[in-house]
Amino acid sequence: MSPEMIMAVGQRALETMLLLSMPLLMVALMVGLLVGVFQAATQINEMTLSFIPKLLAMTAALAIAGPWMLKILVSYTRELFESIPTLIH
């Protein structure tokens, strides 16, 4: 197994991780920004006010994007398992 193959497998893993985490991180960022603007406008500094909306929005995002994320993850895992014989050789 050459160093180039190891780097290719690692790069593909990092790309897949980034692709899978992007929807949840973007939702958390947008909801956090909206809640922060709301808290700044109303001068309400309650910790649960920022936590509960993020939790609910990320649960909804996971419910919506979950099947797509699972499909990507299964596809990557299948590719990785099918490439094992070429990686060992």
16-25 tens-digit pLDDT:
999 999 999 9
Q: Whole-angstrom Cα distance, residue 70 to residue 35? A: 29
Give tens-digit pLDDT for 26-37.
Answer: 999 999 999 999
Q: What is the C-alpha end-to-end distance of the chain, expressed in Å?
A: 7
Q: Whole-angstrom Cα distance, residue 59 to residue 65? A: 10
- Which one-letter DSSP state was computed for residue 46? -
Whether the Cβ atoms of residue 27 and residue 61 lie closer than 8 Å to each other: yes
pTM: 0.79
Which CA distances in Å does 59 have to 24, 65, 66, 89? 9, 10, 10, 43
- The chain-wide mean pLDDT, for the chain, equals 92
